[in-house]
A and B are shown apart, each in its own frame.
Chain A
Amino acid sequence: MIEFRDVTLSYNENPVLDGMSFSIQFHEKIAILGSSGKGKTTILKLILGLEQPDSGKILINRTDIANLSESKLRDIRMNFSVVFQEGALFDSLSVRDNVSFCLLEREKLPEDIVESTVKNLLDRVGIKDAADLMPEELSGGMQRRVAIARSLAGCKPKMMLYDEPTSGLDPITADTICDLINELSSGNPSERTGLIIVTHDVADAVKVADRFLYLRNGKIRFDGDLGALTSTQDAELKRFIKDIL
């Protein structure tokens, strides 16, 4: 379980998170909504221990991850796989090397197993012929698929974290990415790989999530399912979700 307790964080004395509290089970499918620059990505970074809060507690499986050593954080991070905005592919490595990175660096698997795993993963995300291409040769949609394949390599995450996975993509490609996200988190609700997607695109969030958190002024202003979201009386939230009303 992920739990934020009264978390605050500021950048250059500008508050980004201001006493934020919520809790999420690993099998849940969550969308964190909010306008750009409101701290959505920061929440993912805090969950992964890539940033530290100014105050408050972040508990992952009841362990407070603030001030943990990198080696202990590594164990915490094993629970998650992340797809950052625009893929965050290593641009000096080919698609094959990107996907195999974790298998070789962390898992230290033999080359033949790595090769077949990479092949399977690329096949699973529908780009098996792109193995030898470099990231700059890929379209935006292909980059996201490689990023998803890479995030699945070498570990069995309890939860997938997606940072704006469909931003900048055309509607058809965005739909394909949403289908892929759904496929990876399908199955029995108590056993499946959960997901957190942070996005400002409500239409895409609705396709993949069943619980929605709305972020404004550093706090969670809404927490509920689709029914509660569409019947909200909050004027600003109503304006934010007008695409799905």
Chain B
Amino acid sequence: MTLRRLISELQNFYILSLNALLGIFRRSLNWRDVIDQMDYAGVGSFFIVFLVSLFIGMALSLQISAELAPLGLKMYTAKIVGIAIIREIGPVAIALSYAGRVGSGMASEIGSMVLSHQVDMLRVYGTDPIIKLVTPRVLSSTIMLPLLTLMGDAISLTGGYYIAVAMSHQSGVFYWSQIGDELNFQNVVSGLTKPFIFGYLITCISCAVGLSAHGGAQGLRRATTTAVVLSTIMIIVVDFFLTQVLFFILGMQA
């Protein structure tokens, strides 16, 4: 890829991201499209989020209690599981699952619309493809990903509780009281700010890649793969910088 093309694609991405956001305030936004997307992205992702979250919570609880047991510190399992899930692993793992399921779906659906001239038809009819296709997806992702994260965190913590009580023989009441201590303002804000940003990023990346699809079935495959790979990398990179920013804003120290 030449430098000129890279700059041009980045410029297109920024314009799309900005216009998709501004599209929320346009009268031409079709709310039925938003509801449809929320159903696909949110309700449709629940089962995957359930499975991913449950097993991550159980695995984390198992690992931590196994490490802490020889030191006689098993009772801190819930504290570590809570911090890890609420602040970091929950938002990131669910965003990665979301990128795999919803991001790839967005890229392939929009890419297929581009290749079959459906997007051209929208433009011929005077409909802005960004308002019609991208804005409803941005809205649905920024609403549904935080909700999915909230549910996923609860499921992870419940999975962790099951392991702590059933396999590590810890007190269930003590487990939840420690989790309650970790549900403070800083941790909750930190854990729920990330999904908004991740949802926006995944959608903008996937839609931008889909809209630039070309070259038939192979092009569609390339677009879908690129959307998932770019979203995955960006989630992990942005997570690091976002954590630093949130540490600064919330007055937390490393």
Contacts and interface: CB of A to CB of B under 8 A. Distances in A.
Interface string A14-37: 000000000000000000000000
Contact of A82 (B124, B126, B128): B124
Contacts of A45: 120
A163 B113 CA distance: 17
B44 to A, nearest CB: 15
A91 interface: yes
A102 B127 CA distance: 9
A5 interface: no
Q: Tell me which of A86, A91, A163 has the highest count of chain B C-beta atoms within 10 A of its own C-beta.
A: A91
A48 B124 contact: yes
Interface string B119-131: 0110111111000
Interface in B113-153: 113, 116-118, 120-121, 123-128
A50 B123 contact: yes
B109 to A, nearest CB: 8
A84 B117 CA distance: 7
A106 B117 contact: no
Interface in B157-172: none
A50 B128 CA distance: 12
Interface string B76-120: 000000000000000000000000000000000000010011101
A70 B125 contact: no
Contacts of B116: 84, 86, 88, 91
Given A84-B117, A88-B118, A91-B118, A50 B124 contact: yes
B117 A77 contact: no
Interface string A104-118: 011000000000000
B123 A106 contact: no
A90 B121 contact: yes
A105 B128 CA distance: 11
A94 interface: no
Contact of A102 (B120, B123, B125): B125
B120 A101 contact: no
Contact of A77 (B113, B118, B126): B126
Contacts of B113: 90-91
Closest 3 A/B residue pairs (Cβ): A88-B117, A84-B117, A74-B126
Interface of A: 45, 48, 50, 70, 74, 77, 80, 82, 84-86, 88-91, 101-102, 105-106, 163
25 contacts: A45-B120, A48-B120, A50-B123, A70-B123, A74-B126, A77-B124, A77-B126, A82-B120, A84-B120, A84-B121, A85-B117, A86-B116, A88-B116, A88-B117, A88-B118, A88-B120, A88-B121, A90-B113, A90-B121, A91-B113, A91-B116, A101-B125, A102-B125, A105-B127, A163-B117
